[in-house]
Amino acid sequence: MSNKPTPCFEPSCTEYKIKYDNCFNKWYSEVFLNKKAEGGNDICTEEWKLYKSCIDKALENKPAIKKSIEKARLENPFEQESTQGKE
C-alpha cells in the first residue's frame, strides 16, 4: 500500500488537504489510538478551516457538485435527532 497523499478534487486545495490529512493522521495514531489525555479534538482546527475554506470557494465555481452535496445533506444529515425514548 502506498503512503502517497490523495489529491483533492480541486488541485488548488491539495496542499491544504495534505496538511489536514497529515495532522489528522498524527492525532489519530499518537493520541486517539493511544488514548492519551492530552490532545483534544481541536488539534487540527486551523488546518481544517483552511482546507474547508478552499473547498467552499472551489464549490462556488462548481454549482452541480454543490447542489448534489446540499441534496445529500438534506437526505442524510450528519446529525440526526435521536427519537429513542421519546413518545
**Other Cβ atoms closer than 10 A to 20:** 20
Average pLDDT estimate for 69-75 = 89
Average pLDDT estimate for 62-87 = 74
User: Is this prediction's pTM over 0.85?
Assistant: no
**CA–CA distance, 40 with 56 (Å, rounded to integer):** 26
The per-residue pLDDT for range 26-66, each reduced to its tens digit, is 988 888 888 765 656 678 999 999 999 999 999 988 888 88
User: Would you say residue 81 has pLDDT above 80?
Assistant: no
**CA–CA distance, 55 with 13 (Å, rounded to integer):** 7
